[in-house]
Amino acid sequence: MQIYDLIQKTRRCEKLTREEISFLVNGFTENQIPDYMMSAWLMAVCCQGLTDEETVSLTLAMRDSGACLDLSGIGEITVDKHSTGGIGDKTTLLIAPIVAACGGFVPKMSGRGLGFTGGTIDKLESIPGFSVEMPVPEFIRQVKHIGCAVISQSGNLTPADKKIYALRNLTATVDSIPLICSSIMSKKLALGADCILLDVKYGNGAFMKTTEEAGRLAETMVRVGNLAGKRCRAVITDMNAPLGHAVGNALEVEEVIAVLQNQNKNVLSDLALELSAHMLELSGKGDLQTCRKMASEAVTSGKALEKLAQMIAAQGGDAAVTEDTNRLPKANCQKIYKAEKDGYLSGIHSEQVGLACLELGAGKTASHSEIDYGAGVVLLHDIGDEIRKGEALAVIHGASETLCEQAEYRLRQAVSITEQKTESISLIHKIIS
């Protein structure tokens, strides 16, 4: 078998066998296939695509390139959730305790920030003492006894994905639905949960910019998950505005706690309850309407907040933050961003808000950068709100006045105020089973 022949087959839209795809993945992972040849094949995939069967073969080959977790020790149906990323997306911190409080089991491995989007692991590390590293047996034990655990992607899971993704990032081959699908689903399948809920974002604050792109990716991932023997569902959601009001690590944790204290009801809380309901239904806890009611009661009763505190304590964190958010990191400087005219808030460009937070230090701009966990932006209004000139639109949190002023400039590019009222955003566009 020659890599040259496989590149030609993909370029000519000739279907590769499972053995040929395994040869490609294993050869590259074991340094037997050089970067330049793998780059050529990846570019051929970007241009010509892969069939569903080829995408499944690629996903399984990447999954099998390393260890796969055995979650049978939990002894219950397990459910995982993956979001394709966005600005202010803190749903994992909400759905894990909500689902656990309803009797579900959520083993979750999450990532760090990527580009202008925040990472769940960075948010959790803003909680004093919280550890995102955990041996697998302890991880399984915690999920079994508490119902949830969220740790970083580590160990020998999907080494092929790590290597292929690094190459894609350097060769402009990231933007390919079969390659995105295999990257995401190989990690989900390696984790080993019985059910997978996919939150696929679209809009200016997401990697998929249109509903059509998000739909194609969601459908492909659901098909791959089902063909791999998992119960899989996708929810396509809007990311044309930040999710919730807070963007920035500790600020987002504070907003999560407010939601679980039943003090903050908005699109974020609505989406978290809906995602939790789908996860509970996939877990066999009842029909969707019953599961929605269960999720809502977990919040109003305070049981979901208790689960969050239990998870924080189990992972070495200061669980008292769930009662006193002043224990979270705070920025040295705060600056109010005020409206420059009357009108209605018609848009908040997510990517610009994300870039403003990146400049404030809420994310990494280089591998050696340090994160300022207290930095970020808190938005004070929702799309459709009436605004008066001079009214506070946001609070900017940063290490210095200079950084806050730079972020304010970004926010001015992000916020749109018009004379005509804009309807509020409907977050959920479509559900794919």
Residues labelled catalytic: 82, 161, 168, 183, 187
> Based on the number of CB atoms within 10 Å of its own CB, is 345 exposed (0-12), middle (13-18) or buried (19 or more)?
buried
Place of tokens 């806890």: 285
Residues whose CB falls within 8 Å of the CB of residue 406, separated by 6 or more in sequence, listed in order: 356, 359, 360
Dihedral over Cα of 400, 402, 403, 405: its sign: positive
Here the tokens at position 358 are: 């990146």
- Under DSSP, is residue 247 helix (H, G, I), strand (E, B) or coil? strand
Here the tokens at position 184 are: 């995401």
| Proportion of the chain in helix, strand, coil states, percent, rounded to 5 | 50, 15, 35
State the amino acid at position 102 in one-letter form: C
Residues whose CB falls within 8 Å of the CB of residue 212, separated by 6 or more in sequence, listed in order: none
Cβ atoms 397, 328 nearer than 8 A = no
CB hemisphere CA count around 99 (13 angstroms): 34
- Under DSSP, is residue 400 helix (H, G, I), strand (E, B) or coil? coil
Q: How far is the C-alpha of 375 from the C-alpha of 381, rounded, in Å?
A: 19
What is the DSSP code (8-state) at residue 423? P
Length reported for the chain: 433
Here the tokens at position 92 are: 């994992």
Q: How far is the C-alpha of 431 from the C-alpha of 433, rounded, in Å?
A: 7
b/e map 23-49, b = 16+ CB within 10 Å: bbbbbbbeeebeeebbbbbbbbbbeee
